[in-house]
Chains A and B, each alone.
Chain A
Amino acid sequence: MRALTLALLCFSLLTGGLWLAQAGTAEDPPSAADRVEELQQELDSLTEDIEDLKEPVNEFDLFDECMYLIGVSELGRPKGTGYFFGAKRRPALALDIRGFGQPQFNFLAFPGEEPPSIECNEDAEQEFIDE
């Protein structure tokens, strides 16, 4: 009888504990106010992230604005007509920007006067100020 009482007590304690544990972990679906608040927090952090991206992304545009393509072709052949290189003939590269044909290559380049970022920035800023 004592054992049965003890067993019943243990059982009730266990089931009660389990029920309490379940009740503790089960969550109510978040309210609309909670969801809005969570969105606001996420947007605060996202706004910062996107703000931080402004400068690196501007680098794409700067590079794109400052970059030139220079038409270059190889002139001459190793044998036959070519540039004099000792006793041999050798091909070499020359600008190909004057004719109507397509150059062999379009090499990426920047104007030579100043470091490109400074030059392009200065021009852009000047135009803006003039307006």
Chain B
Amino acid sequence: MRRRRQLAAALAAALAALLVLASLSFSAPVFDDEDSPWPDTEAVKPNLSAVQEVVGELEEKVDLMELSASHYADWEACLHGVPISEYGDPDGLAGFGYDEVDGTGFGFKPALAIDRKSRPRHEDYLFLDFERGGDCRTAAPKPGGTAESASVRPSGRTGPAFVQGRTLRAPPGARHRGLPGTLSELEARVEFLKRAANRLEDSSERFDEWESCVSWVPVTEYGDPEGKFGYLFGAAPTSGLEYRPALAIDRSDWEDPEYEFLALVGGDRPGRTCQDEPGEAVD
């Protein structure tokens, strides 16, 4: 009899404990995401502090992203296309006169030149030239150097994601206005963040559209810059003959090209038609 009572008491206690545990798990707020920045309370003050912190963090991230987007917009505005075509036969049957001066004799080789005759979008390639002047600038190439990186004056303008005279930060005067003021300020900052995110998205879509239309064109300079061999250059075949280097499409199977020039190929234009796959090389 006594054992039965003890057993019943133990069962009752276990049931009670189970009920307490179950009620606790239902009443406690459930956070699916352990990384949730929001505090485990409904009190306004700690939640407001967390909101302020998250807004500040997002503003920092968006600030950096806007800087990148604005830089891209700056240099994109400095680009213009130059129509280039390849003249001469890649098989060496006709074209520019070329001599390696290695005993193999005189032959023909194609080379790249500005295409002044083809109608727009009928040139072989539209090379992308970084224009100098205005806010666009490039340093003069250094002797012996290979290339310069593009730069633009920090103009504080342009950029699809950049709005002149505005900043993601709230003005200092807007702070310390009490709870309603703080809430209004945070709402405005979140609204501005949303607009900035939309602008960044537009900007990245535009870049993606541009990049997916651009092709890499393998180019190598053939001939000796010192003039010991290369393309025949001069006023007449019999007088003042020199050897000069020139650029040509690199079709070599066994060596890498010197450069991959960026170009819109065969009339491709971002936003209109893009025949090639994104970033496809042209051989």
Contact with B along A44-88 (1 / 0, CB 8 A): 001101100110111111011001111110111000111111100
B77 at the binding interface (Cβ < 8 Å): no
| Interface band, chain A | 35 or more
B221 at the binding interface (Cβ < 8 Å): yes
Find the B residue at minimum CB distance from A80: B235
Known: A36-B44, A105-B129. A84 touches B186 (CB 8 A): no
A1 at the binding interface (Cβ < 8 Å): no
Min Cβ gap A55→B in Å is 9
CB pair A32 B44 closer than 8 Å: yes
- Which residues does chain B contribute within 8 Å of A86, judged by CB atoms? 94
Min Cβ gap B220→A in Å is 8
Known: A43-B55, A53-B200, A59-B208. A71 touches B141 (CB 8 A): yes
CB pair A57 B58 closer than 8 Å: no
CB pair B187 A35 closer than 8 Å: yes
A21 at the binding interface (Cβ < 8 Å): no
CB pair B147 A103 closer than 8 Å: no
CB pair A39 B51 closer than 8 Å: yes
B229 at the binding interface (Cβ < 8 Å): no
The 3 closest A-B pairs by CB, nearest first: A56-B204, A84-B97, A68-B147
Min Cβ gap A37→B in Å is 8
A58 to B262, CA, bound (A): 20
Known: A40-B47, A84-B231. A60 touches B261 (CB 8 A): no
How many residues does chain B have at the interface if contact means C-beta atoms less than 8 Å apart?
89
> How many residue pairs bridge A and B at CB < 8 Å?
235
Within 245-260 of B, Cβ neighbours of A (below 8 Å) are at 245-247, 250, 256-260
- Which residues does chain A contribute within 8 Å of B244, judged by CB atoms? 75, 83, 94
B149 at the binding interface (Cβ < 8 Å): yes
Known: A53-B200, A112-B256. A107 touches B129 (CB 8 A): yes
Other A-B pairs, 6, CB within 8 Å; known A60-B71, A99-B143: A56-B207, A92-B231, A101-B140, A107-B127, A109-B259, A113-B256
Min Cβ gap B80→A in Å is 10
Contact with B along A85-127 (1 / 0, CB 8 A): 1100111111111111111011111111101100000000000
CB pair B246 A112 closer than 8 Å: no
B211 at the binding interface (Cβ < 8 Å): yes
CB pair B187 A39 closer than 8 Å: yes
Can you pick out 14 interface pairs between chain A and chain B where the beta carbons lie within 8 Å of each other?
Answer: A32-B179, A33-B47, A35-B183, A49-B197, A56-B208, A57-B204, A85-B97, A91-B114, A93-B113, A99-B141, A100-B140, A106-B150, A107-B127, A113-B256
Known: A72-B247, A101-B140, A110-B216. A84 touches B232 (CB 8 A): yes
A42 at the binding interface (Cβ < 8 Å): yes
Name B's A-contacting residues (CB within 8 A).
38, 42, 44, 47-48, 50-51, 54-55, 58, 61-62, 65, 68-69, 71-72, 75, 79, 82, 84, 87-88, 94-97, 111-114, 127-132, 138, 140-141, 143-150, 179-180, 183, 186-187, 190, 193-194, 197, 200-201, 204, 207-208, 211, 216, 218-221, 225, 231-235, 237, 240, 244-247, 250, 256-262, 279
A74 to B129, CA, bound (A): 13
Chain A facing B: main interface SS: mixed
Min Cβ gap A8→B in Å is 46
CB pair B221 A112 closer than 8 Å: no
- Which residues does chain B contribute within 8 Å of A56, judged by CB atoms? 201, 204, 207-208
- Which residues does chain B contribute within 8 Å of A80, judged by CB atoms? 235
A102 to B131, CA, bound (A): 12
CB pair A94 B260 closer than 8 Å: no
CB pair A94 B256 closer than 8 Å: no
A81 to B194, CA, bound (A): 60
Min Cβ gap B233→A in Å is 5
- Which residues does chain B contribute within 8 Å of A98, judged by CB atoms? 141, 143-144, 225
